[in-house]
């Protein structure tokens, strides 16, 4: 069974640009969550999607958005990039969400110059 995949693995952008990251969950998993990892703040929850609906959202500005498609694949978009958005972005999938084991992808390393 294939694991969680994320594309691209690495991205370099400049301030003000926008970026879209993609996540394909494990086959059969309907919940996809996104997390931001930085050395200073650690791992922080961005949002969770379940059956194409955003179910929960963390404490991030509106520049961070996402969506989920009917095949459970999810995308995350960051507009008007800032230097502080440089981070490892991780997505996790689970069967139903709340009480299920979370499986993480390898992450997308975003560098904003």
Partner 1 sequence: KQEVTQIPAALSVPEGENLVLNCSFTDSAIYNLQWFRQDPGKGLTSLLLIQSSQREQTSGRLNASLDKSSGRSTLYIAASQPGDSATYLCAVRKTDKLIFGTGTRLQVFP
Using CB under 8 A, list all residues that contact partner 1: 4, 6, 33, 35, 42-43, 45, 48, 55-56, 58, 88, 90, 92, 98-99, 101-107, 109
- Toward partner 1, which CB reaches closer, 18 or 53? 53
Nearer to partner 1, 5 or 20 (CB): 5
Distances, alpha carbon 58 to alpha carbons 13, 33, 54, in Å: 24, 10, 11
Q: Which is nearer to partner 1, 13 or 55 (CB)?
A: 55
- Going across the sheet that includes 64-68, the strands are 5-7, 19-24, 74-78, 64-68
Phi, then psi, of 85 in degrees rounded to 5: -85, -5
Report, in Å, the least distance between residue 99 CB and partner 1.
5
Tell me the closest approach of the beta carbon of residue 112 to partner 1, in angstroms.
17
């Amino acid at each position: 069974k294939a694991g969680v995949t994320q594309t691209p693995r690495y991205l370099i952008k400049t301030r003000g640009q926008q970026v879209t990251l993609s996540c394909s969950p494990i086959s059969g998993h309907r919940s996809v969550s996104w997390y931001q990892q930085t050395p200073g703040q650690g791992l922080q929850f961005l949002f969770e999607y379940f059956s194409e609906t955003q179910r929960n959202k963390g404490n991030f500005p509106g520049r961070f958005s996402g969506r989920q498609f009917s095949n459970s694949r999810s995308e995350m978009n960051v507009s008007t990039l800032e230097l502080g958005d440089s981070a490892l972005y991780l997505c996790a999938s689970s069967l139903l969400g709340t009480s299920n084991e979370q499986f993480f992808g390898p992450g997308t390393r975003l560098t904003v110059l």
